[in-house]
Amino acid sequence: MSALRVCVAAIRREGRFFLQRRDPLAARFPALWELPGGKAEPGETPEAALRRELQEELGWAPERVAPLATVAHDYGAFRVELQVFLCEGPGTLHAPLAWGWFTPGEMARLPMPEANRGLPETLACAPR
C-alpha cells in the first residue's frame, strides 16, 4: 500500500507550537489535535504543498520554512508519511477550528493522531 504523503507545519512562536483541533464530526480522527497541512498533489514539491495548504487553511504565509523530520505511520487501513516543516513568521492565522499554541510538554498531553506521538520530543529539540 502506498503511503499518503502529508506535509505539515510546526508553526513556532516563542517556544510554542500551533495546533488545531479536527472537527468533532469528522469521519477520521474526530476532535484530535493536529498540525495544519495536508496531502501533496501530484507533481507538487512538499514545500509548495505546505505553503498552499497554509494559505488555504489559515490564510497565512510563513516567512521561513525548514524541513524538520519525516514520520511514517501505518494506521492499518492506510499509511501516512508526515513531512514536518518548522515554520516561522509574523501575521495572524485565521483558523476556522478550535486552536491554540502549546509547548511540547503540553502537546504531549493532548489527544493526537497516533502518527504524531513522537512529535513533541522532536519539536522540543528543533533548532532555535
Ligand X SMILES: Nc1nc2c([nH]c(=O)n2[C@@H]2O[C@H](COP(=O)(O)OP(=O)(O)OP(=O)(O)O)[C@@H](O)[C@H]2O)c(=O)[nH]1
Site residues (vs ligand X, CB under 6 A): 4, 6, 8, 28-29, 34-35, 37-39, 80, 82, 113, 115-116
* Cβ-Cβ contacts under 8 Å for 117 (sequence gap 6 or more): none
CB of 91 to ligand X, least distance (A): 20
CB of 17 to ligand X, least distance (A): 11
* Cβ-Cβ contacts under 8 Å for 104 (sequence gap 6 or more): 17, 120, 121, 123, 124
Residue number with CB closer to ligand X (31 or 125): 31
CB of 61 to ligand X, least distance (A): 17
Tracing cell 511514517 back to the chain, one arrives at 72
The helix (H) or strand (E) run that includes residue 71 is strand 64-74
Residue number with CB closer to ligand X (39 or 94): 39
The three-state secondary structure class of 90 is coil
Residue number with CB closer to ligand X (65 or 82): 82
User: 45: closest CA among 73, 80, 83?
Assistant: 83
Residue number with CB closer to ligand X (79 or 88): 79
CB of 78 to ligand X, least distance (A): 7
